Amino acid sequence: MQSPVRDSPVRPGFHRTEVQKTIWDVPDRYTALRAVGSGAYGTVCSAMDQKTKEQVAIKKLYRPFQSLIHAKRAYRELRLLRHIQHDNVISLLDVFTPDSALEKFQTFYMVMPFVAQDLGRIMKKKRLSDRIITYLFYQLLRGLKYIHSAGIIHRDLKPGNLAVNENCELKILDFGLARQTESEMTGYVVTRWYRAPEVIFNWMHYSQTVDIWAAACILAEMLTGTVLFQGHDSIDQLNKILHLTGTPDSSMVKKMQSKDAQSYVQGLPSQKKKNFKEMFPTMNEKAVSLLEGMLLLDPEKRLTAKQGLAHPFLTEYHDPDSEPDSELYDDSFESLELDVGEWKSLIHMEIMTFDPKNPGKTAM
């Protein structure tokens, strides 16, 4: 719950509230703040937007300028959210700071649509019907097609990062970790159970198909009611994957950039790929076929989001005219070597130039 905090200056048009011992300075249009979650980088409250009469989520970043890494990460998240404009991906409704002058700028808040439930919570409560599963998965691939066309990889897809409302409308959440395709990447981003094998093999340059692998794991979980690859650690995770897919062939091993990974995989006992129909005997044949095309060890051979949308499993919903691509996302700022003050200045400029009617128009 919120409680008003008095006796300290607040920017005109803003009000100050304390939520779980954290001070929130927000525009007067946002009322009834309630804490809904927190992580390493920020806290999220739900609020009522008195202007639109809709519930929103407000994210307050935790000390975004405490270090160079935090400042650049904050700028990255803001730029990503500003770029994305799609029904099935979380978007930025507003961004503001109570610190109007750059000299006093210490924190900022991002406003997004509020969604009370995520797919992970929903699956724990009940089994989903085949029709709902098909509709949800269609929306997931539709959102992935859009972000992938921008040159963006999500990198952390899991049921908890998929918001679903009472109308079964799905939005992909949590773009704090997302990076563009060509960037250097670290091996431990995706929650282990949804982690693609090439991430476990520690390839440095992986592609958008890590999201396709994660999406396939989510589809299998929706259809069966159980996690597909529930590894206790990375080695166990890899073993569970190879039990289904078989061990990599020689052409696949050659693609691995890590000699240690090559040696490790070549030393594994040989396993043949399992028959997917036998592994999933009660599953719809079209769903099995789609899973088989997405759960390929070689990331270059995996179906893309666009190909997945055209698969017979999704015929009921597939409409190429309503599956838009994005403009290419400009992440040229990633190569900039700036100090914290310069990143802060860029973020401040983005906030001051934000236009809710044209959120994708950035300052840079």
Residue 60, annotated ligand binder? yes
Backbone phi, psi, residue 235, to 5°:
-65, -45
Catalytic choice (156, 174, 211, 331)? 156
Contacts 24+ apart (CB under 8 A), 58-62: 58/24, 58/26, 58/30, 58/33, 58/109, 58/110, 58/111, 58/112, 59/109, 59/110, 59/111, 59/112, 60/22, 60/24, 60/107, 60/109, 61/107, 61/108, 61/109, 61/110
Query: Is 156 a residue of the active site?
Result: yes
Using DSSP bridges, classify how beta strands 94-96 and 109-113 pair: parallel, antiparallel or unpaired: antiparallel
SS3 at position 30? strand
Task: Write phi, then psi, for 271 (nearest 5 degrees).
Answer: -130, 140
Q: Are 232 and 223 in contact (CB under 8 A)?
A: no
Distance of CA 149 to the CA centre of its chain: 15
- Per the annotation, binding residues for ATP are 60
Residue numbers annotated as active site: 156
